Amino acid sequence: MKTLTSGEIATYCDVNLRTVIRWIESGKLKGFKLPGRGNNRVLVSDFVSFLEHHNIPIPDDLQSEISPSILIVDDEMPVAKSIQRVARRGGFESHIATGGFQAGIMLSQYNSKLMTLDLSMPGMDGYSVIQFVREQPKYKNLKILVISALDDISLERAIDLGANAALSKPFANGELIETIEKFMFE
C-alpha cells in the first residue's frame, strides 16, 4: 500500500507540481488528501494504472512495485534453489544469479524489489556490494537480505553497511518466508 506524494509524481512525469495537483483535483488521477492541510497522496497502483491508461512510460523503479521479483545471489546453486523454492511457495517470482556480474545485470534488468545476498561468495566481497548498491540512488528502495554462514559480528557489519536484514545460514524456512513477505509487502 505504498503511496506517492504530489511532488514525486511531478518528478516521475516531468511535470510541474501544480499540474499534478490539478490532475488530482479534476479526478483525472485518483488520490486522497491527508487531514492536515490536504496534502495529496496517490496509491502506486492507482498511479501505474493512470500511466498505463495514458500510454505514459512507466519509470523503472515503479516496475518493481507492479511486478515485484526477488533476486537470489548465491554461488551455490542448491542453496539458491532452496531459497527460490521458499519464495515460490510464498507466491513470489525470483531469479538466480550465481556471480557478481550476473547479479548486477539482472538487478538492473528485473528491477528486483528484494535481493538475497550471500556474503561469502568466492572472490566477491558481499560488503562492497552492499556499499556500492547503497551509493546508487536508483536502488534506494531495494531491500537487501543477507544470508550467510558467517558469525553474528559479520552479519551486524552487513546491517551497518546498509543491508535491511540478515539471516544466518542454515536458515529456517519459516523465518525466511516471514522476512521475505515483510519486505515484499513493504
Partner DNA sequence: AGTGAATGTGACATTTGTGACACTCTTTTT
Partner DNA sequence: AAAAAGAGTGTCACAAATGTCACATTCACT
Stretch that binds its own copies, among 6-14, 82-90, 142-150, 167-175 (CB under 8 A): 6-14
Residue 134 C-alpha cell reads as 547503497
Is residue 16 a contact residue for DNA (CB under 7 A)? Answer: yes
Number of residues that make up the chain: 186
Is residue 29 a contact residue for its own copies (CB under 8 A)? Answer: yes
Is residue 38 a contact residue for DNA (CB under 7 A)? Answer: yes
CA distances from 63 to 51, 52, 86, 111 (A): 12, 12, 23, 7
Q: Give the helix ranges, DSSP H, for 14-150.
A: 17-25, 44-53, 60-66, 77-89, 100-110, 126-135
Check: CB of residue 71 under 8 Å from CB of residue 116: yes
Is residue 50 a contact residue for its own copies (CB under 8 A)? Answer: yes
Stretch that binds its own copies, among 48-56, 143-151, 157-165, 175-183 (CB under 8 A): 48-56
Pairing of strands 143-148, 120-121: unpaired
Interhelix angle 17-25/6-13, rounded to 10 degrees, is 110
Is residue 15 a contact residue for DNA (CB under 7 A)? Answer: yes
Q: Which of 57, 78, 91, 174 binds its own copies (CB under 8 A)?
A: 57
Q: Which of 128, 160, 173, 181 binds its own copies (CB under 8 A)?
A: 128
Rg (CA), the chain: 19
Stretch that binds DNA, among 13-21, 83-91, 129-137, 143-151 (CB under 7 A): 13-21
Q: What mask, x for binding DNA by CB under 7 A, covers residues 47 to 86?
A: ----------------------------------------
Is residue 119 a contact residue for its own copies (CB under 8 A)? Answer: no
- Side chain identity at residue 51, one-letter code: L
- We find the least distance from the C-beta atom of residue 73 to its own copies, in angstroms, to be 8
